[in-house]
Structures are given as C-alpha cells and as structure tokens.
Structure 1
Amino acid sequence: MMGPRPSVAEPVEPGVSPLTAQDAARAVETELGRILDEGLRKARETDPLFARDITERVTSLVRRGGKRLRTAFAWCGWQAAHGSGDTTPVLRTGAALELLQACALIHDDLMDGSPRRRGAPSVHIDLARMHESAGMSGSPETFAASAAVLCGDLALAWADDLLTETALGSPYGPQLQREWQAMRREMVAGQYRDIHAQATDASGVAEALTIATLKSALYTVERPLALGASLAGADATVLDSLRSAGRCAGLAFQLRDDLLGAFGDPALTGKPADDDLRTRKLTYLLAVGIELAEASGDQEAADLLSPRTPSVSNNAVHRMRAALERLGAQSVVESKIAALAATSLRHFHRTGAEPAIQREFAALVARASGIAPQCTGREEAA
C-alpha cells in the first residue's frame, strides 16, 4: 500500500540526545498525516464513493487524535533496548499501532452500541445518519453496521501493510512480525471473551481481568513496548522484563478506563460515562462490586449490579454508581491500579534502561493509569 517514506526525524547520532517519548508521539502525527493522505489519494483513484463514505471517515477518526500512548510506549521499548540511528522504523511502527487502534475502536463501538468516540459521533452512528439524510432505502442500522465493519477492515489493512513494509526493511523484521501477529490474535480473543461474557451473564473477577488483559492491556502497552524493543534487536531478558512491565501498566490503564467509563466526565473523555453500567458490561469494577455486595449480604446492590438484570434507566445508573461507591468497589480498583503501576516500574527497572528512559516510562505509566508511582530504581521486582 505505502512505499518507503523519508524519515520524520533525523537519525540520532552518537552523543546526541534522542527524541523523548512525547516528541515521538508528536512526530508520529506527521507520519500518520502522510500515510492517511496517501491512503485517501489511492482510495479516490480506486472509487470516489468508497473514498468519500468509507476512507474519509477512517482518516477523520485517526486525525481526531487520541492519547497516542501506543506510539509513546513503542518508543520507550526501543530506547530501553538501546535503539539508535534512523528513527523512521519505530515511528512507522507507532503509526501502524494507531491505525490498528482505529480499527479496534470502530469495531468495538459497533459491538457495544457506543454513540460517541473522540468527541464526535461513532463511525456507525455517523453512517446511519448519512443513510437517513440521503433518503437511502433499507434499514439505516443494518447499512451502518455493514459499512462500519468495512471502515474497521480498511484501518486494519493499512496497519498491516505499514507494519509489513517496516518489517521487510528491518534486520529484525521476523521478530517484529511475530510480536504483531501475537498482538492481533490477543485482540480478537479479548473481544470475543468480552461479547461471550455478556452473552453468558458472566460476573467473576477472574473473567473480568482476563478480558481486560487480552482486549486492552496487551495491545496498549505490552506489545508496543516489545515491538519497539524488537526493532532495536533486544535480547530475551530485556523483552521479558518489558512484557511484564507492559502487562501491569496496560492492565492499570484498562482499570482506569473502567473507572472513567462509570464515573468520568464525557466532556473530558469524549465518550459517554454510563454505557458500561447501562449494559452491565463485565468490567473489573463491576465484578468487584458484585463480589463485595455478595460478601456483605447487600442483596439489593447485588441485584442492581447483576449482569442478569436488563438494561436500565438513568435513575438506575445513578443508583449503580452510588452502590459501587458505598460498597468500596471504586477504592478497591484504585488500589489495584496503584499496585499495578508500581509493579510495572519495578519490572521496567530490570531492563537496565538509562535513568532518563526510566523516568520517561514512569511518566507514561502515570499518564495511562492516573497514578504517579515513585520510581526509585531500587525496589525488588514483584
């Protein structure tokens, strides 16, 4: 799909400080812009209608941003493994991760029926509105679901093409490709566990953690760290430490997202704050709440939080929030996030990364988890 591109950043020469993770996150915007422009140009050559209705929606979602955490973590992995020289491969890997994230968001919003993403209507909602305004025949919802699947597929194809081209141009391409392939399997497995849990009314803490790990933690932090490190030719010891650090930080990120999904401000998060509660999606927060309600004999709260209870009114959602706070579920999740963040830093310290890189990683973990753990570099690994 996309041929080689000139470097977004100049190669890092010996003795010159490399870019920071924040710099890399900014630099990947330029790389993404080039990739999206090229993808849109080729789509218009293929078919103008496809370009307008499908490709432009994908590019719009990607351009609306996001945290770009995956790019930043890939950069930290590359630095932890003493990456040097041309920065283009790691930035293009970051861009591939952002395109993969777009695919995941489009498909996830469709499966969950989420109405908003990144401060705008979700792709399937926007497509349904287009169907209605154009006076098209048939069901707007059916049309929008089918078209949204294609939007996600396009983002995935772009991501795969970009990663493959990067791997082919790297001496460490086979390892990079293996990490990418494993990440895609994990994402699909996690998404299926998620919808399976809803279909079977699952409510256990262990199942909630399995879903959070597979669906989010691995591809948000663990695999991006490993992808970046692979481009630097990291050995097995460094990769193992990075994977452990990433799994803990990624899980902390997802648990924070669970809290924001129940208690966050939509004006700040860009998405509704009641979808998970209204549909009783199996999150760690909800599973802990149910466990605490049953342990304390609070049958009213247990029934209110139970996945077997049908979708509920706004008043019931408010009561669910109050029950989670009263039971102490919110505090339990906060404590779990703090422990995971601290453990993540201890694992990262074992990579032997330079102190400046450890500080960068700590800042990223704080940003992802909402927790600012201490990074002394002296703790025992958990």
Structure 2
Amino acid sequence: MSLAFPQSPVDVARRPGSPVDEERLRPRVDRALARFLDHQEAVLAAVSPQLAPVGDAVRELLRGGKRLRPAFCYWGWRGAGGDGADEGAVTACAALELLQAGALVHDDLIDRSDTRRGLPSVHRRFEALHAERGWRGDGARYGTASAVLLGDLLLAWCDELLADCGLDPAAVRRAKPLFDLMRTEVMAGQYLDLLEPAAPSPDGAVERARTVIHYKAAKYTVERPLQLGGLLAAADPALTSAYAAFGLPLGEAFQLRDDLLGVYGDPVLTGKPAGDDLREGKRTLLVAEALEHCGSADARLLDDLLGAPDLDQPGLELLRGVITRSGAPQRVEARISRLLEESLTALDAAPLADPTARRMLHRLAAAATARRY
C-alpha cells in the first residue's frame, strides 16, 4: 500500500510556502498517518475483505485538510522545548487529524453536506457504493449508518495513535487528560450548534454563538492542540496559560473567518459549496449579528429562509443580501482583526523556550485568519 496521500482539489488551491510545511511537518504527519492506516487496513482485512471500502474512505478523507491542528500541536511542543527531530511527537500531533476526520464525518452527516474537501462526503460515498453494487434496501440509510460507524472508528483510532505515538509513556499520560477534555468540549460545542437552530431566541444570540465558537472550534483548533504539544514536552503552568491567552482568541478569529467563507467563500478553495451554512440553518455569529442589526422585514426574511429545506440559489442570494445590508460582514471582519491583535500580543509575551516557535506561531496565526474569497 502506497504511503502517499494524493492531492485533492482543495489541496491544489493551497498557496506555496504554507507555515504547515516548515520543517517538512506536513509530509511527516502524512507519513505517520499512512503508517497507521497501513496497520489498521491489515487489521480490517483480517476481519473481512468486505471492509476494504472503509479503509479506502478513510485514506481519501485524510489526504485533504490544512493540517492546522497538528501544526499548532507541533509548535506548542517546540515552544516548550521539545525536540523537532522527535518523530514520536509528530505522530502524536497526527492523532489530531484522526480526531478531526471523525468529527467531520459526523458533522457532514448532521449538516447533510454532499461534499467535503472537494470530494463526496462519507455518507454520500457509501450511498453511492450501495447504488453502484445494486445492493438491497435503502441506500441513503446505508450511507448514514456507514458514516456513523466510520466516524466512531476514527474517534477510537485517534486515541490509539496518541497512546502508541512513540513518546515516553509518562509524556502521553501527562497530556492525555487534556486530550480527553478537548474531545468532550468539541462534542458539547457540536450539540450546542445543533440546538441553536432548533430552539432559536433573539435574546443572547450573539453570546450563544460565541459559546459555540469557543467549544466547537476555538479551543479545539488552536488552544488545546497548543497545550497538548506543550504538555507532551512538560510545559509549566505559565506556558500552558500563555498558550490559552494566544490560542482562544486566535481560534475564535479562525472560526469567524470560516463563517464568512461559509457564506461568501470560493468553493474551489473551501471544498464546499458556498452558502452551505445558510442551507443548514447555522446560527453563526455572522447570522446573529445580522439579526441584531437588520430591519424587521429583513429579520423575518432571514428567519423564514435560513435552513429552509427547499432553499434554492435565488433564496441564497436573498439571504446574502440581508446579511450584507446589515453590516454584519464588516463587524465580523473588525472582530477578527481585534482578536488577532489580542492573540499576537499574548504570543509576544509568552515564555517560549524556542524563538523559532514564536516566529512560526505568528505565521500560523496569519494563515488561519487569511481572507480566501
């Protein structure tokens, strides 16, 4: 089995010189994932050759992605004095990609998304497999059930890869409680994200949206990966706190940028159709800001069309018009700038052991919040 992860359409759109490529981190993470998948595919094959589509789906899903979480984890490790040549640390960082992949499989199922990273989402992939092979029963239900199981498998595998990463077991034990906390936080944030469109209320919508951002995205994308890398390298409490002061506002800014991309983004760069967040009825901070500042007629239109099952392209344009007229995109852009400034101020004051880590975290912060539309 080849260890290579071929490029997906989204990968081709990446700009050269990404900070994730520094110290060959991306190919090192990819090699760690490929070795792990080689092993797991052998385990699956020993159970039954009928499991081959599961391994194929995981490998294809993992070939995409920005690798931001492993990068923050790796530079959190380096900032705490960890050895950049230690492949055990890189393998531990790669475990975050398995966690992310499992969360994405379930997220796409919840959101009924047809694509991920420019390719069919996992539940659509297995639905198509059912149709191609002429199997009995409901193909959509088969795809849904397959995605649930595959996402669960990835969530189990991330724990296994961290445990067997090759670092001193004491280092893994030191970091494991935070890894567990991160997984609980992201699932809690996912539930709150699911709850908001089901039980919307105009009161406190902006703060509730920020709570979802913090637990579904900000902590999970930046703060916890940084702290995980730090704890693997025995970071002291001062550095762990400094990582939080840098990581939480940066993670919020990252998600706000993603919210803007979900409405206005270029599908070639995002790998998902523009407007999917509106079709899914997501009550993002962008939407909460629009509702808070638009007129009564626009508010009714937004409330009626957001998440409507029959929402078509003209309806999407109406929603974009409401959001744009409200001035919400400008306010969100301004908030991204403030959060980025807060984050970088904290980074400059952080007691990092390696000056290269400070420089690289600056670059990662810029990449995570860059405009792509």
Q: TM-score, normalised by structure 2?
A: 0.88
Superposed, 1:17-166 pairs within 5 Å as 21=22, 23-50=24-51, 52-63=52-63, 65-84=64-83, 87-166=86-165
Q: 1:307 to 1:280 in 2, by over 3 A?
A: farther
Contact map agreement 2:89 2:167 (CA 8 A) in 1: no
- Is this contact kept in 2: 1:20–1:360, CA < 8 A? no
Deviates more, 1:283-292 or 1:34-43: 34-43
- CA distance change for structure 1 residues 41 and 122 in 2, over 3 Å: closer, same or farther? same
Cα distance change on mapping 1:72 and 1:133 into 2, 3 Å: same
What's the secondary structure of 1:306's corresponding residue? Answer: helix
C-alpha distance in 2, partners of 1:176/1:45?
A: 32
Taking a change above 3 Å as real, the CA distance of residues 20 and 122 of structure 1, as seen in their structure-2 partners, is: closer
Is structure 2 residue 250 aligned with structure 1 residue 253? Answer: no
Asked if 1:222 corresponds to 2:219, the answer is no
Q: Which amino acid aligns with 1:129?
A: A
Q: SS of 1:67's equivalent?
A: coil
Q: Which runs of no fewer than 5 residues in structure 2 stay unpaired?
A: 1-19
Q: Matches of 2:231 and 2:22 in 1, distance apart?
A: 17
Shift of 1:172: 2.4
Looking at structure 1, the residues matched to 23 and 246 of structure 2 have their Cα atoms a distance apart, in angstroms, of 19
Q: 1:20 Cα shift? A: 7.5
Provide the C-alpha distance between the structure 2 equivalents of 1:84 and 1:335, rounded to a whole number of angstroms: 38
- The residue that corresponds to 2:340 in the other structure is 341
**Which residue of structure 1 aligns with residue 175 of structure 2?**
176
Higher RCO by CA contacts (8 Å cutoff, separation 6 or greater):
2
Secondary structure of residue in 2 paired with 1:171: helix
2:299 alignment partner, one of 302, 308, 318: 302
Query: Which residue does the alignment assign to 2:367?
Result: 367
- Residues 165-221 of structure 1 show CA distances to partners (whole Å, capped at 9, x for unaligned) of 238734322221011010010011011111111211345111111111111111111
Q: Distance in 1 between matches of 2:95 and 2:179?
A: 10
Aligned partners of 1:167 and 1:173 also within 8 Å = no
1:263 alignment partner in structure 2: 264
Closer/same/farther in 2, CA of residues 272 and 313 from structure 1, 3 Å limit: same
Alignment-derived partner of residue 4 in structure 2: none
Residue deviations 1:300-338 (CA, integer Å, cap 9, x gap): 211122278634221121011122112111011111111
Q: CA deviation at 1:86?
A: 5.0
Aligned equivalents of 2:304, 2:74: Cα separation in 1? 40
C-alpha separation in 2, matches of 1:24 and 1:234: 21
Extract unaligned runs of 5+ from structure 1. 1-18, 372-382
Q: Deviations over 1:277-297 (max 9, x none)?
A: 12321111111111111xxxx
Amino acid at match of 1:147: S
Per the alignment, do residues 20 and 66 of structure 1 end up closer, same or farther by CA in structure 2, a change over 3 Å counting?
A: closer
- 1:340 aligned counterpart, secondary structure: helix
Contact persistence 1:280–1:305 (CA under 8 A): no
Matched with 1:322 is 321
- State the superposition RMSD in angstroms: 1.9
The amino acid across from 2:266 in the alignment is D
Q: TM-score, normalised by structure 1?
A: 0.86
In the alignment of these two chains, the number of paired residues is 347
Residue of structure 2 equivalent to 1:356? 356
